[in-house]
Every structure is written in structure tokens, then in C-alpha cells.
Amino acid sequence: MESNKAKIIRDLRWIGIAEGVSFLVLLLIAMPMKYIYGNAMPVKVVGWAHGALFVIYVLAVLRATLALSWNYKRTGLFLAASFLPLGPFFFDGNLSREQEQY
């Protein structure tokens, strides 16, 4: 049976992946459609979804910080990762190993 700490990490991993994918879709698909083809609708739709996932990701990091007693440095790194296009993916392997420990 999965522990509560493992569930928190699992949730953070899923949200991080979703947030990272939405950021890449926004940068690599929606924005070129807006600036090359003049179609702003994909930016509105994907941008809204990415914004919601970003907020959920930040909340998930804060939840993990409290539940797992993360220090300020680790919390800051995870929060900073959300501003980089591939950021959440870099920490996924680390979280996967930590999830297995619980």
C-alpha cells in the first residue's frame, strides 16, 4: 500500500509533467501559431490551461514542502523549475527515486 508521502510525491510528479508539457505546447505550438499565422486562439486556450496547471504545481510544491519537511533551497529549486521549459522534467527522476523510498 502506498504511503501518504509517496502519494504526495506521485501527485507532484504528475502535476509537474502536465505543467511542463503545457509550457512546451504553449511555447512550441500555440505561440508560433499566433505570431506566424495570426491565430491567437491557441495561446488563449493553452495559456489558460498552463496558468491553471502552474498554480496547481506551486500548491503541490508547497504541499510537499510541508509534508516532507523540505528545506528552503529544495523548495526554491522546485519552484524555479516551473519557470524553465524543461524544468519539471529535470526533477522527475529525483522524485521517482524518493517516491520509491516511501
| DSSP annotation string for 66-80 | HHHT--HHHHHHHHH
Label residue 74 exposed, middle or buried (CB < 10 Å: 0-12, 13-18, 19+): middle
* Structural domain for 49, as ranges: 4-101
Write the DSSP symbol of residue 46. Answer: H
Contacts of 12 (CB under 8 A, 6+ apart): 57, 60, 61, 63, 64, 95
Domain count, the chain: 1
Q: What is the pTM of this model?
A: 0.92
Torsion of CA 7, 18, 54, 94, to 10 degrees: 50
How confident is the model over 11-65, as pLDDT tens digits? 999 999 999 999 999 999 999 999 999 999 999 999 999 999 999 999 999 999 9
How confident is the model over 72-95, as pLDDT tens digits? 999 999 999 999 989 999 999 999
101 compared with 45, residue with greater pLDDT = 45
